[in-house]
Amino acid sequence: MCELDQLDAMDPAKRGVSRRQFTVMGAAGVAAAACAPTGGAKAQDSLTESDVTFEAPGGTMDGYFVHPATGKHPAVILYPDIGGLRDAPKAMGRRLAASGYAVLVANPYYRSVAGQQFADFEAFRNDGGFQKVGPWMAKNTPEAVMESAKAIIAWLDAQDAVDTSKGVGSQGYCMTGGWTIMTAAANPDRAKAACSFHGGGLVGDAPTSPVNLLDDMAADSKALICIGKNDDERAPTDKDKLKEAGAKAKAEVSVEVYGGDHGWTVLDSPVYNEAEAERAWANMLDTYKKFL
């Protein structure tokens, strides 16, 4: 997951980008993907969106649910990065819904707090976000994440917009990248695609480490593991361990290092890399098309 030195490296000023330029770029990127506010159930450009809550282990899950206005569609869980619920992951959820999916953007910190805690990633970086979320993150043990995933899938399966004859996908970023594999491992009968983008903590010795859960995924599923360039530089053997575990797993496992730094796929990240983010998005859509 994000470490303090990674956050420091994401400082726009240290990357030759002024604070004003970053603010303009970040706002423009989010606005381009989604122009309307959320709240309440409403249709927007053939999409229906709503803020939702439901009971889940350890508290009340809250999130943002968006899907095509008509029909039934495969469900996808979008786990936001360390910055939590905010406009950027919601915009990404809208984009995915427009491709024909029923998407829940889940609050990763629901066991501790509800709703949006930071306006954007820049606010997280500058307002002591890492220290603030530390206690919340501590509650998200692998066991807790897998319990939550079961509750989320059960809720999704009860929604009229969800096609339960199709598998469920999940995508996660930064600290939640490994959650996608945990979700698929804990729900092999329903979860058929796990897409991890610059995920943290994928490799470890514990039985619940994502690398050791790949073999618990269903044979008719896939893990798409997209690694950041600087993450690979920090831990160059992780990709090899993931590939080795993937080769032994029943599921299809794809592991690739991308030409973007940690955080490159998230719209409001200061290291957002449009070309590589679009390539990762296309590979994710291809995974969903084939496995959901």
Q: Tell me: the pLDDT tens digits for 138-170? A: 999 999 999 999 999 999 999 999 999 999 999
Query: Of 63, 166, 152, 59, which Cα lies nearest the Cα of 107?
Result: 63
Low-confidence ranges of the chain (pLDDT < 70): 1-45
The token pair that represents 112 in the structure block = 């501790």
Cα 174 from Cα 99, distance rounded (Å): 23
Residue whose entry in the numeric block shows the structure tokens 């970053």: 22
pLDDT given for residue 42 in this prediction:
56
The separation between CA 147 and the C-alpha centre of its own chain, rounded to angstroms, equals 17
pLDDT given for residue 214 in this prediction:
98
The token pair that represents 281 in the structure block = 């998005």
Dihedral sign, Cα of residue 172, residue 186, residue 245, residue 142? positive
Q: Tell me: the pLDDT tens digits for 204-217? A: 999 999 999 999 99
pLDDT given for residue 209 in this prediction:
98
Query: Which domains are assigned to the chain?
Result: 4-291 (3.40.50.1820)
Model pTM? Answer: 0.88
pLDDT given for residue 126 in this prediction:
80
pLDDT given for residue 267 in this prediction:
93
pLDDT given for residue 122 in this prediction:
83
Cα 162 from Cα 262, distance rounded (Å): 32
CB neighbours of 239 closer than 8 A, spacing ≥ 6? 227, 232, 255, 257
